[in-house]
Amino acid sequence: MKLSLGFSPCPNDTFIFDAMIHQKIDTEGLSFDVVFDDVETLNQKAFRADLDITKLSYHAYAYLTEKYVLLHAGSALGFGVGPLLICENEDYISTDGLQNLRPHPIAIGSSDLRIGIPGKYTTANFLLSLAFPEAKNKIEMKFFEIESALLNHQIDMGVIIHENRFTYQEKGLKKIIDLGEFWEDLTKGPIPLGGIMIKRELPEDIKQKVNRIIQRSVQYAFDHPESGMDFICSLSQEMSKEVINKHIELYVNKFSIDLGEVGRKAVHTFFEEAHKVGIIPETKQNLFL
């Protein structure tokens, strides 16, 4: 049986899926048609139910629980992994810090400040909305375009994700707030960024099989970290190997093998907090496989 599979070309995803798509492990008779896209494009494809299995932002998943269900393997959760709100103009940075988490001393939403976001349904935008509910002047763009947009003065602030955490400072850009730390302070738990979802309509045995295969693929990558490096580098947008390794170390961890009790609690908390402030609709579906 062949299933369509979508994930990003970022090192954390290619690290996870290398063994699975290149038959380095037992795939239990399954094969995969792979689609590489940035996370917001994958989110949009999921709204159309284009793919059998897909990487998906947890924010987007809140709108898609009737079509997809979350696998226990393959997720990106953790501490210190959240998106950053950055700028070029130091005038936007307060030295006062956050006062009781909200509101931020900078009245972001009360001005015409343009904020670049990596997509409406990304977890990055969810966290921005949670931290700064007044922020409305948002401009959607590809995640890798945000640094350049700041430097070219197309936007005033930007929310960066993925490998841009490691590159923004060398370009003269500055951090306003770590939105992941904001979440950790608020909930005392890890931030759920993205997970691997599979169509609910697929047979239960296929869904369970895919979950096992992904777990096996992640474990293989941990056990043989150099095995997929050529593949990872070929899709990593000219990142240095040092940045690639930092990227993998940051986003692939024990939660990528299995969410476990802590991971599942974090996902539930994510949905509860987002629904509480009206960012996402309430879901009556079971979130987990």
Q: 102-145, pLDDT tens digit by residue?
A: 344 445 554 578 999 999 999 999 999 988 888 889 999 998 89
Statement to judge: residues 99 and 72 lie in one domain = no
**Position 288 in a domain:** no
* Nearest CA-CA partner of 265 in 243, 248, 287: 287
**Position 285 in a domain:** no
**Better-predicted residue by pLDDT, 241 or 207:** 207
pLDDT tens track for 240-273: 889 899 999 989 999 999 999 999 999 999 999 8
Task: Provide the sign of the torsion angle of the four alpha carbons 164, 167, 172, 177, taken in this order.
Answer: positive
Statement to judge: residues 194 and 258 lie in one domain = yes
Q: 268: domain range?
A: 2-78+190-276
Phi/psi for 14 (5° steps) reads -65, -30
What is the percentage of the chain residues whose pLDDT exceeds 90? 75
Q: Which of 98-102, 187-191, 202-206, 271-275 is predicted least confidently?
A: 98-102
Binding-site members for substrate are 55-57, 123-124
Statement to judge: residues 40 and 165 lie in one domain = no
Binding-site members are 55-57, 123-124
Statement to judge: residues 103 and 178 lie in one domain = yes
Question: Annotated catalytic residue: which of 72, 104, 162, 247?
Answer: 162
State how many domains the chain has.
2
State residue 186's pLDDT score.
92
**Position 267 in a domain:** yes
Q: Is 104 a catalytic residue?
A: no
Statement to judge: residues 177 and 270 lie in one domain = no
**Position 254 in a domain:** yes
Boundary residue ending a domain (187, 221, 237):
187
What's the CATH number where 60 sits? 3.40.190.10
Please give the model's pTM, rounded to 2 decimal places.
Answer: 0.89
